[in-house]
């Protein structure tokens, strides 16, 4: 079985541009979460989606948005890129249930974004 997949693997953008990152969860998983990881830090929670609805949001500006599609894949969009947005963007899927607030996250390989 395929694990979590992300595309692209690497991306270079310039300040002010927009970027879309994509994630496909493990088959059967209905929840997708997005994280930003800068060098030397742990992943920072951006969003969690479950059944196409936003279930949680971290402390990121409105330039960051996401959505989940009927097939449970997800996109993370970042507008008006800043130099500080350069990071590894990780997607994780989980078999979250509607009644549970806890889940084990399985990560994809990440998209490394560089903003020049």
**Minimum distance, C-beta of residue 90 to other proteins, in the bound complex (Å):** 6
**R_g (Cα) of the chain, nearest Å:** 13
Query: Does residue 25 bind other proteins (CB under 8 A)?
Result: no
**Minimum distance, C-beta of residue 62 to other proteins, in the bound complex (Å):** 17
- Cα-based angle 80, 82, 83 (whole degrees, multiple of 5): 155
Query: Does residue 44 bind other proteins (CB under 8 A)?
Result: yes
One DSSP character per residue, 29-70 reads: --EEEEEEE-TTS--EEEEEEETTEEEEE-S--TTEEEEE-T
Query: Does residue 41 bind other proteins (CB under 8 A)?
Result: yes
Quick one: 7 or 17, whose CB is closer to other proteins? 7
Q: Of 53-112, which residues contact other proteins (CB under 8 A)?
A: 55-58, 90, 96, 101-110
Q: How far apart are CA 80 and CA 78, in angstroms?
A: 7
- In order of 6, 18, 76, the CA distances from 66 in angstroms are 14, 13, 4
Could you tell me which stretch among 8-16, 17-25, 40-48, 63-71 binds other proteins (CB under 8 A)?
A: 40-48
**Minimum distance, C-beta of residue 108 to other proteins, in the bound complex (Å):** 6
Which residues of this protein are in contact with other proteins, per CB under 8 A?
33, 35, 40-45, 48, 50, 55-58, 90, 96, 101-110
């Amino acid at each position: 079985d395929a694990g979590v997949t992300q595309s692209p693997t690497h991306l270079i953008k310039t300040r002010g541009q927009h970027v879309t990152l994509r994630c496909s969860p493990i088959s059967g998983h209905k929840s997708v979460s997005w994280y930003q990881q800068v060098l030397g830090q742990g992943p920072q929670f951006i969003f969690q989606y479950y059944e196409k609805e936003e279930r949680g949001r971290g402390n990121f500006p409105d330039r960051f948005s996401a959505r989940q599609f009927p097939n449970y894949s997800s996109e993370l969009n970042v507008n008006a890129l800043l130099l500080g947005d350069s990071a590894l963007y990780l997607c994780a899927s989980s078999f979250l249930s509607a009644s549970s607030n806890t889940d084990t996250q399985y990560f994809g390989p990440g998209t490394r974004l560089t903003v020049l």
